[in-house]
Structure 1
Amino acid sequence: MNAHTPHHHYCGTHDLHRTVRRVAAVCIGWYAVILVSQQAHPGPDVRTAALGVHLLSLAVGFGAVLAVDGMGLAVLAGRARLATLLAFSARAEWLIWSGFLGLAVSGTALRPDFGDRWTAVNLTAALVAALNGVFAHRLRTTLPATTAASTWRDLPASYLWRASAAAVVSQVAWWTSILIGTLTS
C-alpha cells in the first residue's frame, strides 16, 4: 500500500487473497481426505472409534450451524440485533470448522465406498458446505462496521440475497451429507 492507495482498496485485496488461500486449503484438504480414505484399511475397533468421533463432530459442527442460522431467523423476526448475530457467528465459527475437520478426519477411517455414486454425492456436498463456509466468513467479515449496528432492513439487498443464499446452501449441503451418511451406513 502506498500513499495513493485507498485503505479500503488494500483491505479488500488482502481479504480477497486470504479468501483465495482458504478456498485452496479447503480443496486441497478435501482431496487429501479422499486420498487417505482410499489408502486406509482400519480394523473394526478403529472404525467404531471413528464413527463415535464422526457423530460427535457432526453434533458440534452442525449444531453450531443450526445455532447461527437460528440466530439469523431471530434477527429477521426482530428478536435479536444484527450485531448480536455477527458476534455470535464469529464465536461459533471455530465450532463449525472444528466439527467439520473432525468429520473429515474421522471419515477417512469409515471406509467409504468410492464405487458408490452416493459417496460421490456426499463428498461433493461436504465440499460445497466447506466452500460455502469460506464464502460466509468473507460475507460476515466484509460487512461494514456501521452496518452491524443497524437492523437487517438497513442492509443492501445484494447483501441480504448473498446471506440468504449462503444459509440455504449451507442447510442443503449439510442435510444432504447427513441423509446420505445415515441411509448408506
Structure 2
Amino acid sequence: MTGPSFDKDSPYGGQPGSGGPGQPYGQPYGQPQPYGQQPYGQQPGGFGGPSPYGGGPAGPRPGVVTAAAVVGIVWGGLGTLFGIIGLGLAFQLGALLGLIVLLSTALSIGLLVGGIQTLQGKSPKLLLLISYVAIGINVLSLIVSLVSEGGSAANGVLGFILPVVVVALLRQPKAKQYYASRGISY
C-alpha cells in the first residue's frame, strides 16, 4: 500500500493526517513544523536550560549551600539578639565600646540577611562579603588581644571559625556549579 492507512490499529491513529512518530496530532506525517513552533509535548530550551518563566532550572540545593546559609542565619541571629541586648549597656560603659558593639550588631544583621537570601536561592554575595569582613575584624581583634596585656588567643575563636566555615562551604565546587546553573556569579 502506498496511500494513507485508515486501519484503526495503525500506529498513526487510523486517520489521515494524524501525524507520525514525533509529529503533533493533525499534522501529516513527514511535514516540517511551522517556523517557531515546538512539537506537542516538547519544552523549549531542553533539559536543564533556563526556565522560560524566570525561575532557575529545577534542581536540589546542595547541602553545602544550605549549611552555609544556616550557619549565617544562626550566627547572625544570635549576634543580632545579643548585640541589641548589649547595645544599651555598651554605650553606657564608653563610646568606643558602644561603636564596636554597634558594628558587631550590624555585621550580625548582615549575616542574618545574607543567610536568608542564600537559603531563598538568591546570590550569596552578601553572606560572603559579611563573612570576609567578619574574618578581617576577628583577625585584627586577635592581634590586638595578643599584643595587649593579658590577651589570649582563645578570645573570639568561634567568631573567627564560623565565617571561615561559611566561606569554605560557599567556595565548594558543588556550590559554584549550583549558582552557575542558575546564572548567578559571585
TM-score, with structure 2 as normaliser: 0.34
Structure number with greater CO (CA < 8 Å, separation at least 6) is 1
Q: Which has the higher helix share?
A: 1
TM-score, with structure 1 as normaliser: 0.34
